[in-house]
Structure 1
Amino acid sequence: MATPKTPDSTRRSERSRRAIFDASLELIGEVGYDKLTIEGIAARAGVGKQTIYRWWPSKAAVLLDAFLADAGDEEIELPDTGDLAADLKAVLRASVDEFNNPAFEAPYRALAVAGANDPELSEQFVTRLQETGYQAYVNRLRHAQEAGAIAADADPRIATEMLLGPFFQRWLMRSLPLTHDFTDTLVDMLMRALAPR
């Protein structure tokens, strides 16, 4: 007589976690952050809401983990072809396409807006999501500086903020379209500001 198999709780937990992530990302696109609820996520994922509260303190925490689940822990590196302007333009054009994609835009915007009213979420958003991307730009600019492509006294962190600040402002406020032409212009202006003297 065969011995019944003991259910693998690890596998079940991972299935539930994945279902919760998928549900939260689907719902944020369908109903928006204000109408997103733990109850709604639980119902869509087919789990009890107590399961979600056991792992996360809020819907924002669920959404942040869901958004980061597929990102991995690899360090981000910008391309380095030897042409800083071309590399920055290529990366920012890809970023425009990504930020204009509703599947990316809805959760990212929700997290950015929620973080404005939640200092703890804001800190998590910056350290776990935004800072990784910023550091990739800082590293690329520092390498260009070492190669003599930008001024030796330029601050790579400030230069990164000069480049990405207007990008995020335009995207977040929806004041004007976020386009390839816009980001190309940002790069051209940054390159003039950072030109070796």
Structure 2
Amino acid sequence: MARPQNAPDPSRRSEQSRTAILTAAAELVAEVGFAKLTIERIAARAGVGKQTIYRWWPSKGAVVFDAFLAGNEDASGGLALPDTGDLGEDLRTVLRLTALELADPAFDRTGRALTAEVLTDPDLLREYRTRLLDPLLEVTRDRLRAARDAGRIRPDADLGLAVELLYGPLYYRWLHGLGPLDPDYADRVVAALLAALGHDGG
């Protein structure tokens, strides 16, 4: 049976509420920090009841993670690495952007809070792995595999280790505040990786 023409659309109302919740979570975590953020505050800012939030998310960490993905659409879907035929340039492009994001104060506060939550919440860790980390690592392996198949890097290159060597230094430096995160540092990481992989320069 069709809905009356002027009846409210429940799916549209739900999507509006979900968008309001994610927007509120993103605003509040930037304003007050993750530690002081509560489901009650998110609900009040979004104009919904707490039960609405708990119907879709099990914890405030899960809400903030979804808000992070919503604000970073490239991270949440359609992830791909450039393939210009120049492996070095492609990796530099990706790592420069990663370094700049990690150095952004707006990202830093939320990023560190989410990292702490991921380490203590197994369900959130699974979400993080499934929706963000694993897809990123896989597309990077695919790009390196294409280079290996084309004879641009050593045929025995360990692609899993190579991916860790690519991203690991940036996150290590970010977590421990060891130095600047900028395009120059990203380029040096890529140069070291390419040398280890026996890259032929193409």
Match of 1:165 among 168, 177, 185: 168
* CA distance 1:6–1:177, shift in 2 (3 Å): same
Q: Percentage identity across aligned positions?
A: 50
Partner residue of 2:97? 94
Query: 1:132-151 CA distances to partner (integer Å, 9 max, x unpaired)?
Result: 11111111110110111110
Q: How many residues align?
A: 195
1:102 CA displacement: 3.7
- Verify: 1:79 aligned to 2:92, yes or no: no
1:4 CA displacement: 8.3
* CA distance 1:68–1:196, shift in 2 (3 Å): closer
* CA distance 1:23–1:102, shift in 2 (3 Å): farther
**Tell me, which stretches of 5 or more residues in structure 1 are unaligned?**
none
Partner residue of 2:116? 113
Q: Which has the higher contact order (CA 8 A, sep 6+)?
A: 2
Letter in 2 for 1:79: P
Secondary structure, aligned partner of 1:195: coil
Bigger shift: residues 100-109 or 182-191: 100-109
Query: For the aligned residues, what is the CA RMSD?
Result: 2.0
- Verify: 1:127 aligned to 2:117, yes or no: no
Partner residue of 2:56? 55
Query: 1:70-96 CA distances to partner (integer Å, 9 max, x unpaired)?
Result: 627644221112221111111111222
Q: TM-score, normalised by structure 2?
A: 0.88
* CA distance 1:8–1:185, shift in 2 (3 Å): same
Match of 1:180 among 158, 174, 183: 183
Query: 1:138-193 CA distances to partner (integer Å, 9 max, x unpaired)?
Result: 11110110111110001111100011111111112222221111111111111111
**Tell me, which stretches of 5 or more residues in structure 2 are unaligned?**
none
Partner residue of 1:30? 31
- Aligned partners of 1:112 and 1:122 also within 8 Å: no
